[in-house]
Amino acid sequence: MRVTISDELADVLESKAAGTNQSVDEIAEALILRTIEVGMQERYILIRGVVREELETLCGKPILTQEALLTQMQRLGSISFGHVRLKLTVKQMEELTRRAMKRGIKVPALIEEIAHEMEPMFFDVAGGFGVGYSPASREARRLHDERQAADLAAAQAAIGEVQP
């Protein structure tokens, strides 16, 4: 069988074959076979250059397989405290990213700050076992409640429910 290709594609194939012990025909055949493997109902995304580098920077390591990409995206889409994972929606992750960017810090640093803020209140929220229930934790809880009330009032004012 003969296939006619453009001069531009021929140049690309020749550059891929250069420095290897494969012919242009072998390179073209391998590329066609890989494309056929994908199938008509599947899709693939080429991730190249700066976008690939940024993705790998976010993930903390190279992404070499689709499984590795899925694993890293699941890891990025959650926060863990010991063995407990908090799964976050895309919108929640976007909000964390927005807040971190607004403060000029990275998302992991923001999450660490949130965890440190939650630490004094942990046992209070868990039912007031008495452990960790100190003046410092009461003060942290009071500040948290004030911030929550202020956030709620601002949200209600933004949608026109209540005038501050």
The answer on 54 and 33 residing in a single domain is: no
The answer on 126 and 55 residing in a single domain is: yes
Amino acid identity at 81: F
DSSP label at residue 89: -
HSE, CB side, 13 Å, CA atoms: give it for residue 67: 0
Longest dimension (CA), the chain: 83
Looking at the DSSP bridge assignments, the partners of residue 70 are none
| Total-model pTM | 0.36
The answer on 84 and 150 residing in a single domain is: yes
The answer on 53 and 33 residing in a single domain is: no
Domain that holds residue 28: 7-38
The answer on 53 and 18 residing in a single domain is: no
In a domain, 67, yes or no: no
The answer on 11 and 92 residing in a single domain is: no
* Long-range CB contacts for residues 116-124, cutoff 8 Å, separation at least 24: 117/144
In a domain, 1, yes or no: no
Length of the chain counted residue by residue: 164
In a domain, 44, yes or no: no
pLDDT digit string (tens) for the chain, length 164 residues: 787 888 888 888 898 888 888 888 888 888 888 777 777 677 778 888 898 888 888 777 888 888 888 888 877 777 776 677 777 777 888 888 889 899 998 888 888 888 888 777 776 666 655 454 556 666 776 777 788 888 877 777 777 654 44
